[in-house]
Amino acid sequence: MGELSPFKNLPIDWELGPADAVACYLEWGNTGYTGRYIDPEKETYYFSIDTWQEPYKVRLQKMTKDGAESLCEIELPKNFWNCCSHAKGVYPLPPEVKEWLKTLF
């Protein structure tokens, strides 16, 4: 079993990034930057990459209209750091990181 096996039954939204999660739930109602709609009465689960400090982290987040909660944090392998190392911040998952995470369930 992988590091994420306790969360294997969660309905993870693999296409949601941190900017849309905040926009849809906390800023402007239920429409994100990309135009997607999320029912603010439901909770959403998504991953993001945090590059504010090394080592970079991948976080599984639960987002509701009341805010975000980190459910799990995993160190991002260094071979993936080039995907988002151009500036410090929080990023959506690139395809190669999504595929790696899916092997951890």
Res 19 pLDDT > 60: yes
Question: What is the pLDDT, as a whole number, of residue 10?
Answer: 96
Looking at per-residue pLDDT, the higher value among 14 and 22 belongs to 14
pLDDT value at residue 42: 85
In a domain, 24, yes or no: yes
In a domain, 50, yes or no: yes
Total domains in the fold of the chain: 1
Alpha carbon distance, N-terminus to C-terminus of the chain: 7
Chain-wide mean pLDDT for the chain? 86
In a domain, 5, yes or no: no
Cβ contact 31:19 at 8 Å: no
In a domain, residue 65? The reply is: yes
Q: Does position 64 have pLDDT exceeding 80, yes or no?
A: yes
> What is the full DSSP assignment across 20-52?
HHHIIIIISSSB-TTS-B--TTS-EEEEEEE-S
User: Could you tell me the residue range of the domain that residue 27 belongs to?
Assistant: 10-102
Over residues 73-88, the pLDDT tens digits come to 999 999 999 988 678 9
22: in domain: yes
Q: Can you give the pLDDT at residue 59?
A: 96
